[in-house]
Chains A and B, each alone.
Chain A
Amino acid sequence: MFAAAFSGLLLLFLLALSRGREAYEGFLRWLKLPAVVAVFAVILVAVLYHTLTWFRLTAHIQVVRLGRRVVPKSVVITGLFGTWVLASVMVAYIHIWF
Chain B
Amino acid sequence: MSLGEILDESDGREVKRRARAAGPREHRLRRLLRPEPLFWGLFSAGGFVAAFLVPIHVAILGIAFAAGWLPSRAFSYERVQHLAHLPLVKLYLWGLIALPLYHWAHRFRFAIYHQFGILRWKRFIAVACYGTAIAGTAIAAWVLLSI
Contact = CB atoms under 8 A, between A and B. Distances in A.
Interface string B49-80: 01111111111111101110011001101001
Contacts of B52: 51, 84, 87
B143 to A, nearest CB: 5
Interface string B87-112: 00000010011101101100110000
B73 to A, nearest CB: 9
A6 B57 contact: yes
10 contacts: A3-B50, A4-B103, A43-B58, A43-B62, A47-B50, A51-B52, A55-B51, A84-B52, A97-B74, A98-B83
Contacts of A91: 53, 56-57, 60
Contact of B62 (A37, A92, A96, A97): A37
A14 to B, nearest CB: 5
B105 to A, nearest CB: 8
Interface residues of B, number: 46
Interface of B: 46-48, 50-63, 65-67, 70-71, 74-75, 77, 80-81, 83-84, 93, 96-98, 100-101, 103-104, 107-108, 136, 139-140, 143-144, 146-147
Nearest to B79: A98
Contact of B104 (A4, A14, A15, A21): A4
Contact of A41 (B63, B100, B139): B63
B35 to A, nearest CB: 20
B143 A1 contact: no
A77 B63 CA distance: 27
Contacts of A51: 51-52, 55
Contacts of A37: 62-63, 66-67
Contacts of A40: 58, 61-63, 66
Contacts of A8: 136
A1 B108 contact: yes
Given A4-B100, A44-B62, A54-B50, 16 more contacts: A4-B103, A6-B57, A8-B136, A9-B61, A11-B139, A11-B143, A17-B80, A36-B62, A40-B63, A44-B58, A47-B54, A47-B55, A47-B58, A84-B51, A91-B56, A98-B83
